Structures are given as structure tokens and as C-alpha cells.
Structure 1
């Protein structure tokens, strides 16, 4: 295993577990990673690329793939192989160092590769391992993170768990106790979480269907176990720093009593659909502080092209660096002494400027906006520290590049939450239904003529900005804000539409016009002056 100041050797084809035919392509290119690039024709690009065997590839394409791979795998002199950032085209890049390299691997190991999912998995895995071994440069804060990744059903959120499991499995023969850094897949109660922390004081848990969990935790009818879990999650976020402790809890049944836990570090990766997650939000659960603790990473796209040549195992160089970080975390696991992540003066200036921005926003805003900004600086400092540790665990330093990246990711998360609250597109009730109808209308006008005909809508109506009642109603009835309305989906829909008519956002189109122009005999709506 190499230390700081040493270059990493070139990566060979044997570092990857490719099928034989693809491994041979990699050997011919001189870099095993190019097997993936050539097989997908375009290298490390997004969205997913056409399969290698679909058609012959010109020599120029193969040469470009080789160049892409060679650039990505350039060794450095700092003992860390800094993967070139992969851009999603949506303002999110992979960071330098081990976090970025792990994200690259998780992306290429997924059957349905999505950069946002890979990034969320890499961030939380690293925080789950090293969150208790270091402190941020600010207030001796710990480095555990709460992250939720949002994507539509079927997009490939399971790729996060697969990638994490593969990385952990790769070093398990060397470090059998690496599983101590992996927490339970669900928390049944606050007491259960505390008992897990007694055994595993630092871990990451991947929580599937997190939107449903969130809704249960924040429901006014939540039971005592769920309310206690919310309290413990709130406490754990702040208790991972130097000299912090989670105090014991006493019960009438002494068997259930918990002990003192020094600096517990709980990192969460929640997986959810946008609808399930935002349906569980309201002003109340933002103001209690749980939601502002989360960094929201959302993939807005549809199901990506399947990856038929996944990278089945991480490269040896990535295994070595991940194993070195795990070894470091294991040596400090039983110690209350922490290393503090350093920062350059320029990085410090960037982070403090963001702290001022967040502080002003918190002071000047009201309602949910103030709370959403409240943890922004803390999350940015933790993110930057995790990335810095991944770049050099022996002497981590936050650079301006790392600070910029962390701030951008957190700012994007804040903006997403603010947008939802500003449009009323959260929780349940009239505001949510109103926002859902606006989204239905916007999506309707994006359909091409073939899709409209399949939906039994005359394309001429869409072209003229007219929405048939039947289409409108069917789309609304499928959404939880209408399905779960106490009065039923149809009355809720009619009530919401009437509100739009009364406000001038919609107008009802005359039936004679509908029959003469479109041979349509039902009800339809046009866009009003106040849309």
C-alpha cells in the first residue's frame, strides 16, 4: 500500500473483473478501464451509451476512448488517484479523490447507471467509515451526513447498495470487521438505534423507501417508538464531534436502558421517489429540524439505458485506498482523540462566505426557508471534510476546489427544497393538489403527437393549449394528493380545478368550439390569463 508522495502504478486489465471478451479489449488498449470505454463507445459519459457490439467503431472513436481512459487514470504524486470529475450535465460533478473514484466505480458497476445515485452512495460510504475519526475545521464538528437521493421508480436506486456492498466485500478478506461500518437497513425505534450504536458507534445505513419512513416519523399520529426515533436522529446529527456524548436513556424496564455513547456517528443514505419524499414534508417537520439536516440529491431523468457490461469488482488501486481509509478508521474507533481536517486560507474564505450567506438567509427568511438554510453551512463543511479525507487521509486539507464543490452541492439541495415549498408542492392538502395540477399541465404540453394519440388525445388540442377533462382527471387521480384526499379523488380534483377557474388560471372552453374544431363532446380547459 502506497503512502503520500508516491505515484500509483498504471492499472492493468487484471485489476478488473470483466467478461473475457471485454478484458481482452482492455489488454489490447493497454488500460483495463478502456474495456468499459470501448464497450460503451464514448468512455465516461452520461447518459448511458450504445452497446459496443451494436456496430463497428471507427479507429478515431477507439482512440478517443483510450485517451479518455488514460486521462481518467493518471497517477498523482500525492498518493491519491484523483479521478477526473464526471459531469451529469445537471450541475453536479464528481469530486476529486477517493469519493470521486468510488462514485466512478459505483456508476460503472450499476446495471442502470445514474451519476447522482453513485455520488450519494460514495459520499455516505466514506462518511460512514471516517465520520468519527476526524473533525471539521469548524467547532470540532463531526463528519456524519444525512443524505437522501431521489429518483423515479425503476431508475436504479438499488445501484447505491450494490456499489457499497461490492466495495465492502472487496476488502472483507483483509478487514473482516469492515461490516462494523455498515448499519441496519431500517430503524424500528429510537431505542433500537441506540442499541446499534452501543455496538457500532460509526456506520452508514442505507434506508430504502425513505419517503414512507419520513411520513411515518412526521405524522401527527406517530407512535412513541417513531417519536423517539425522530428525537435520536436529531440528536445523533450533532453528537459526532469531539467531546460530544449521547446521554443514556432510562426506562421503567431497566433491561431497555441505554448507556453513554461517545461521539456517535450515524450517516444515512435514504432512497426515495420525489413524490413519496416531498409528500411527507410540511412546515411542521421542517421546523422541527430533521429535514434541514438532509442533503437532497435528485436525479430528474427517466430510466437510463441498461449497462450490459458492468464493472463487477472495484480495481485493485481503489480497493487499496479504501482499505487504507478503513484501517485508519479502525485504529481511531476506540479513541476519543480526533484528527482535525485542515483548510487553505482560500478554502476557509469560501466556506465562511457561505456561512454568512446562509446566516443572512436564515435571519431574513421566515417559515420553512429559514430552517432549510439553517444547516447549510454545517453540511457544506462536513461534505468538504469528507472529500478532503478521501484525497489524503493522512493529512486532509480542504482546498478551494473541494470547498467550491461542497458549497455548490449544498446550495443545490437548499434550492430544491425551497422551490418545492414556494410552489406548495409538498405534503398534502389543497396546496399540494394545486401544484400537482400545474405539473400535469406542464407535462401535457411536452407530449409529442404520437404519445398524445396513444393517450387518446387529439394532438390539435394540445397544440392549441387545450386540456381534455378526461386526461386531466386520469392523471390527477393517480397522484397520492388526490387518491388520499378524505373526500375522494374525483371531488378533490373538481375542487382544485374550480379553484383554478375562479383564479383565472384556467378557463372552460365552449362546447360548440370543441365539437366543431376537434369533434370532442366532453369538457376541456384552456390556459387562462393568470396562469
Structure 2
């Protein structure tokens, strides 16, 4: 799998006219893949967010593998069933796609290439986005995972806008202002979703800061729970909420399936304890004395008063 990932990483930059993509050698020769020139390779996958983010490792972030992907995450509710789905694309779309495919096949057969041009307004927008990405990378010199998220964002925007131009006018593709802006919005949206997960410690093994941030988020969640959603083990849950107190049991339950905690090398419980300790040290939480919890709230477990949610 590591060899396959290395090849996929390399293929990202092998679509140029003079590029050669090296082959893959397997122990079984009939499975070998020969070298190929000018590979326009695309990889599309679909899964649920938890499975996707849990599978990412720090190594994938550091070696640039993940920065080559454009991540699209849907965070809305489940849509209603569509009783009248479209069974066939519009004929005009089919005819247009057929012309593009025929043109691409002819170009491949004659070994010819068509460069995509950029309109002046589109170029200006993309140049501004490059400066934005450059500044974002310089802003986090000690966090390679966040730097990796922005590293190829501009190049991804270039590629997406170029694809839009080809789709609209394949004979003479020129990126327009609207296409460039749409591509940048798509890339920005993916970065925002990825950074949100990264900062919350929900990507791969996570970080100390990410785990603390996740604990703070869960504290906010606990304090805002409606009365009918309060856990059964809290006899005076509303009073504890009003006092800004969060039980450890709630944090324990909500983090047990979080990869940043569950995959921690010292175990889930240690990961949570360290995150809580960091939050206490940073002045965000304070442990409530057991006597006060028992007397005022009839709660016999550990709990923490929230001092800051920032």
C-alpha cells in the first residue's frame, strides 16, 4: 500500500506532454504495470466522514499525499426521498459530452495537446488565491499538517478551473472569471472542512492541541444540551448546566470513538486525561471538588467547571 501511495502521489504531476509515469513492479509479473507517457489520472472515492478522516495518518499529511486531493464534505441533513429521479441525462448534455470524448480520443490518437488559456480577470483572481495560500502556509511554520492542507490548494484550483473551461469550450478553452471563482470556492470549502476536523483532533492520530480543542467543543455541547437530551445518570443535569459543570462521564462517552483518543498510543483514557489536564493548565477548565458535587448536585463522579470556551 505504501508503494501504491507513492505511485499515486507521483501521478499527480505526470499529465504533461513530456511526462513519463513509471511502472509498478509486482512479485507476480503478469500484474506489472508498464511506464506510460502523459497520464491524465483521476481518483474519485466516496465514504462517510468518520471512515475517511480516521484513515488518514500523519505520514499521509507530511508526504503531500492528502494535499493532492480535493475534499468535498456534505454536512447537511439526510435529504428526503426523490420520488421522480431523472433516469437519463438531458440529450443536450449527452451530445455535448460525446463531442468532448471524441475530440479527446482524436487528440490522444494523434498525440496532440491543447493548452488551456486563462483570461486576464481569471488570472488575477487565481494569483490572489496563490498569495492567500502562501500566507496561510507561512502563518503556521511549526504545523506541517496545516501547511500541507494549503500546499497544493492553488494548483488544485488551477486544475478545476481548467476542467471547467474544457467542459464549456473544448476547442479553445479559456478560463473565465466565473470559472476561476467557482474553482476557488470549491477548494476553500474543502480546506475549511478539513481544517475544522484537523483542529478538533478528528484526523488520524490527532495532536495534543487538537484533543484539548475537542474536549472544549464537547463541553460546549454538554452545556447546550436540551433538557430531553440530558443523560439519565444526571439527576440534576439542568442545575449542573446552569453552573457551567460538565461531568467527565459525558466526555468519556463522547470521545471513546474519536480516532484522536481511541488510537492514542497510551489508550483512550490517558488521552482524555491529558487533554483535560491541558485544558485545566490553560485556564479553560477547573475540577469541581467531589464534596460540592455530591451536596449540590447529587453527582458522585468527576466533573469540571467550564471557565472558558475559547
TM-score normalised by length of structure 2: 0.83
Where does residue 437 of structure 1 map in the other structure? 215
Relative to structure 1, the CA distance from residue 448 to residue 364 in structure 2 (aligned partners, 3 Å threshold; closer, same or farther) is closer
Q: Which moved more, 1:414-423 or 1:280-289?
A: 414-423
TM superposition shift of 1:234:
0.9
Where does residue 187 of structure 2 map in the other structure? 410
* Aligned equivalents of 2:201, 2:50: Cα separation in 1: 13
* Aligned equivalents of 1:419, 1:361: Cα separation in 2: 15
Structure 2 stretches lacking a partner, 5+ long: none
Relative to structure 1, the CA distance from residue 260 to residue 472 in structure 2 (aligned partners, 3 Å threshold; closer, same or farther) is closer
* Aligned equivalents of 2:275, 2:163: Cα separation in 1: 46
Where does residue 282 of structure 2 map in the other structure? 503
* Aligned equivalents of 1:439, 1:259: Cα separation in 2: 50
Counterpart pick for 1:264 among 29, 34, 39: 39
Contact 2:202 2:258 (8 Å CA) reproduced: no
Relative to structure 1, the CA distance from residue 513 to residue 311 in structure 2 (aligned partners, 3 Å threshold; closer, same or farther) is farther
Superposed CA deviations along residues 132-156 of structure 1, whole A, max 9, x for unmatched, are: xxxxxxxxxxxxxxxxxxxxxxxxx
Q: What SS does the corresponding residue of 2:305 show, helix, strand or coil?
A: strand
* Aligned equivalents of 2:147, 2:258: Cα separation in 1: 29
Q: Does 1:229 align with 2:4?
A: yes
Where does residue 304 of structure 1 map in the other structure? 79
Counterpart pick for 1:484 among 243, 263, 267: 263
Relative to structure 1, the CA distance from residue 365 to residue 512 in structure 2 (aligned partners, 3 Å threshold; closer, same or farther) is closer
Counterpart pick for 2:148 among 366, 371, 382: 371
Superposed CA deviations along residues 30-64 of structure 1, whole A, max 9, x for unmatched, are: xxxxxxxxxxxxxxxxxxxxxxxxxxxxxxxxxxx
Q: Does 1:391 align with 2:168?
A: yes
Contact 1:466 1:526 (8 Å CA) reproduced: yes
Q: Does 1:285 align with 2:60?
A: yes
Relative to structure 1, the CA distance from residue 390 to residue 454 in structure 2 (aligned partners, 3 Å threshold; closer, same or farther) is farther
Structure 1 stretches lacking a partner, 5+ long: 1-225
Q: How does 1:23-42 map to 2 (within 5 A)?
A: none
TM superposition shift of 1:238:
0.6
* Aligned equivalents of 2:267, 2:25: Cα separation in 1: 45
Q: Which moved more, 1:303-312 or 1:286-295?
A: 303-312
Relative to structure 1, the CA distance from residue 473 to residue 258 in structure 2 (aligned partners, 3 Å threshold; closer, same or farther) is closer
Counterpart pick for 2:238 among 436, 455, 459: 459
Q: Aligned pair count?
A: 306
Where does residue 469 of structure 1 map in the other structure? 248
Where does residue 448 of structure 1 map in the other structure? 226
Q: How does 1:100-499 map to 2 (within 5 A)?
A: 226-248=1-23, 255-281=30-56, 283-362=58-137, 365-366=140-141, 367-368=143-144, 369-422=146-199, 424-428=201-205, 431=208, 432-452=210-230, 458-499=237-278
Relative to structure 1, the CA distance from residue 485 to residue 352 in structure 2 (aligned partners, 3 Å threshold; closer, same or farther) is closer
Q: What SS does the corresponding residue of 1:330 show, helix, strand or coil?
A: helix
Relative to structure 1, the CA distance from residue 418 to residue 485 in structure 2 (aligned partners, 3 Å threshold; closer, same or farther) is closer
Superposed CA deviations along residues 453-489 of structure 1, whole A, max 9, x for unmatched, are: 6685723322432212322222122323333344443
Q: What SS does the corresponding residue of 1:269 show, helix, strand or coil?
A: coil
TM superposition shift of 1:252:
7.3
Relative to structure 1, the CA distance from residue 296 to residue 405 in structure 2 (aligned partners, 3 Å threshold; closer, same or farther) is same
TM superposition shift of 1:379:
0.7
* Aligned equivalents of 1:487, 1:356: Cα separation in 2: 41
Q: What SS does the corresponding residue of 2:45 show, helix, strand or coil?
A: strand
TM superposition shift of 1:372:
2.9
Contact 1:430 1:496 (8 Å CA) reproduced: no
* Aligned equivalents of 2:126, 2:2: Cα separation in 1: 34
Q: What SS does the corresponding residue of 2:286 show, helix, strand or coil?
A: strand
Q: Does 1:526 align with 2:301?
A: no
Q: What SS does the corresponding residue of 2:72 show, helix, strand or coil?
A: strand
TM-score normalised by length of structure 1: 0.51
